[in-house]
Chains A and B, each alone.
Chain A
Amino acid sequence: MSIFEAIRLALTTIRVQKLKSFFTALGVCIGVMFLIAVVSIVDGMGRYMEDDLVGKLIAINSFELRHRPNIQIGDVDRETRLEYSRRQRILESDVQPVADALPEGTLWAMYSEANLNVESSFSRPRRAQITAVDGDFFEIKRIGVTNGRLFTAGELSLGANAVVVGPDLVERLFPTVDPVGREVRIAGKVYNVIGVGESLGKAFGISFDNYIYAPFRSPVHRALNREANAIDAMMIQTPSAEELVDVQETVRAVMRSRHGLRPAQRDDFSLQTADSALEFWNTIKGYLVLAGIALPAFGLVVGAIVIMNIMLVAVAERTHEIGIRKALGAKRRDILAQFLIEASTLSTFGAALGIAAGAALALLIRNTTPMPTYVAPWSIMVGVLVGAGVGIVSGVYPASRASLLDPVTALRQE
């Protein structure tokens, strides 16, 4: 029998056994769809965290000087926590000496932040994240404005009562009017809105756009820090990754000498890099990857069970059919060719549907839930390989066994 005839036979069988064919394709489809959807969630979160979220929290090639880390990796024991709580804060007066020690081309900024109520005459008071900034804050964070302007050097150094407002907050505070030139009230003081900042996006449904930036030396910083002259962090960005470690050592040396630490003493401040934030993310990702393997595996097992069940139900019938075919002169390879083509046609078809369904599901998840999904090409490959593999094996294996039987034995099955 030629391969052409085998294809013909297989296609005839598929057409004739519509229901069985449908369920086989469905089984593969479910498996592949589930794999692609789940992987897209895990991958999407990973990409989001690495490219976006961490980049936004901590800009590239940068680190923060803090009195203690604000992103914790793993559990912190009691002793460490106690030590953290005894640390003195970074002071405004530390900033200039550190800045002076930085090499040419290095950017720096300092900031303090807190959540406070903001009022406008167009809305009730809203909670917002208020950050008082100085230095090259907007360059490092790469934040621009969509409306109005950023602070001038003069406004920053003089501490003008000016603010840049985030897009979400603008919508709440000024639902109907152009915000630029209007006033907001923070902790009893009035500030002029000079610009509307760019969107920083969101993660897991939490918007980062509910922000207000003000010059550090404006009155707002007194509302942000209980300790006068203290700052939350100083941010330092080197032109490229190579200088990062050297500059960290420079800053470390300046701070140690300012705190009068002897060589044996440990640092009583933290230099937090994007790496440490990434490390934090990696521990989360460990669980996600586990879920990313376990869940699709589960989906494929479900799909495989669906397929195998259908195949098993069909095995008695198919065994009888194989008996008939062998009695009429089919060779073993004729049987195998027919079943292989039948199973791979159905599985490929099912897998293709599964890709489409999985991608659609991923899109649906992205649009209806806070989870950012991303359909990775490898997940499509794996889905197709595994889904089609399961379909083919569960179609061909029983047929291969039945084709080894004497025709009488096969014919007895009904």
Chain B
Amino acid sequence: MSNETEEAPLSTTAERQVIVEEAGKAPDKDWVIVTRGIKREYDMGGEIVRALRGVDLAVRRNEYVAIMGPSGSGKSTLMNLIGCLDTPTAGEYWLNGQLASRMKDDDLARVRNKEIGFVFQTFNLLPRATALHNVELPLVYAGVASAERKERAFEALKSVALGDRVHHRPNELSGGQRQRVAIARALVNRPSILLADEPTGNLDSSTSEEIMKVFESLAESGQTVIMVTHEPDIAAHARRVVVLRDGVIASDERKERFAAKMGF
């Protein structure tokens, strides 16, 4: 970050403080996510692929962050680490004040279950289970009793306007509907962050718009959202845009600045 203008990039302010100056310490409650120099390397038969080469990122509660960058820049890798679906090879990852990068298997399972809602590009629904059962699953693993589970899953499906599709299987639903089932599933356990990796990547533009509206209204209601996207106009919905390049953060700015640079 060479250009120190009056409009300082986010990474040089409070975020910089929590990441660099408080290194090694647990961030306070306000920070949902703090990563300090996290790396992810793959050993491809002797050749080391550096997917992430030290990422510092801090996200506050209620933020709506878009992550962009060219293909292969490490966006998905970063999302998977944040979502505790993968473990970093180096660095610290603090989630809600807990050091997730050091957690044992069972604690990670609990974190995935309670703290994180993940929406995938390819939906990742159980193909043979109904919409209701798919949405119920996080509650099953949370130990919620059957009746309450059904009730809450049904409410979640209603909130994404699928109250009339609860007994449909994924292959009986449109792409947009499947993704809404996935969103309902991500939200049903009231996670502290909602992560979405190119949630509209498999959808046509009008369906994408519809899904983006769902994220928009979630963000408005105070849900913390981090979303990977290739589309600048989709990123335009977010209030903060992080750009990755070659496994590091190239820029991290408020939407207005980013939009100005992109010519919106």
Q: Quick one: given A327-B112, A329-B110, A331-B109, are A406 and B141 in contact (CB under 8 Å)?
A: no
**CB-nearest residue of chain B relative to A411?**
B124
Interface residues on B, range: 20 to 34
Q: Do A329 and B128 touch (CB < 8 A)?
A: no
What residues on B are CB-neighbors of A16 within 8 Å?
A: 128-129
| Bound: A329/B126 CA distance, A | 14
Number of contacting residues on A, CB 8 A?
A: 24
Judged by a CB distance under 8 angstroms, whether B142 is at the interface is yes
**CB-nearest residue of chain B relative to A15?**
B128
Judged by a CB distance under 8 angstroms, whether A114 is at the interface is no
Q: Quick one: given A329-B113, A331-B109, are A408 and B86 in contact (CB under 8 Å)?
A: yes
What residues on B are CB-neighbors of A321 within 8 Å?
A: 126
Q: Do A408 and B85 touch (CB < 8 A)?
A: yes
Judged by a CB distance under 8 angstroms, whether B14 is at the interface is no
What residues on B are CB-neighbors of A17 within 8 Å?
A: 128
Judged by a CB distance under 8 angstroms, whether A43 is at the interface is no
Judged by a CB distance under 8 angstroms, whether B258 is at the interface is no
| Bound: A331/B106 CA distance, A | 6
Q: Do B105 and A331 touch (CB < 8 A)?
A: yes
Judged by a CB distance under 8 angstroms, whether B185 is at the interface is yes
Interface string of A316-341 (1 = CB under 8 A from B): 00000101111111111010000000
Judged by a CB distance under 8 angstroms, whether B75 is at the interface is no
Q: Do A408 and B80 touch (CB < 8 A)?
A: yes
B137 contact from A2, A325, A332, A411, Cβ within 8 A: A325
- Shortest Cβ distance from residue B169 to the other chain A in the assembled complex, whole angstroms: 9
Summed over the interface, the residue pairs from A and B with CB atoms below 8 Å come to a total of 68
From residue 194 to 234 of chain A, which have CB atoms closer than 8 A to chain B? Answer: none
From residue 283 to 332 of chain A, which have CB atoms closer than 8 A to chain B? Answer: 321, 323-332
**CB-nearest residue of chain B relative to A18?**
B128
**CB-nearest residue of chain B relative to A330?**
B141
What residues on A are CB-neighbors of B140 within 8 Å?
A: 1, 5, 9
Judged by a CB distance under 8 angstroms, whether A383 is at the interface is no
Q: Do A407 and B113 touch (CB < 8 A)?
A: no
Judged by a CB distance under 8 angstroms, whether B199 is at the interface is no
| Bound: A204/B179 CA distance, A | 69
| Bound: A17/B128 CA distance, A | 8
- Known A-B contacts: A328-B137, A329-B114, A411-B120. Give 6 more (CB < 8 A): A324-B137, A328-B138, A329-B110, A329-B141, A329-B142, A331-B105
What are the 10 A-B residue pairs with the smallest beta carbon separation, nearest first? A329-B113, A329-B141, A407-B85, A16-B128, A331-B109, A408-B86, A408-B85, A328-B138, A329-B112, A408-B80
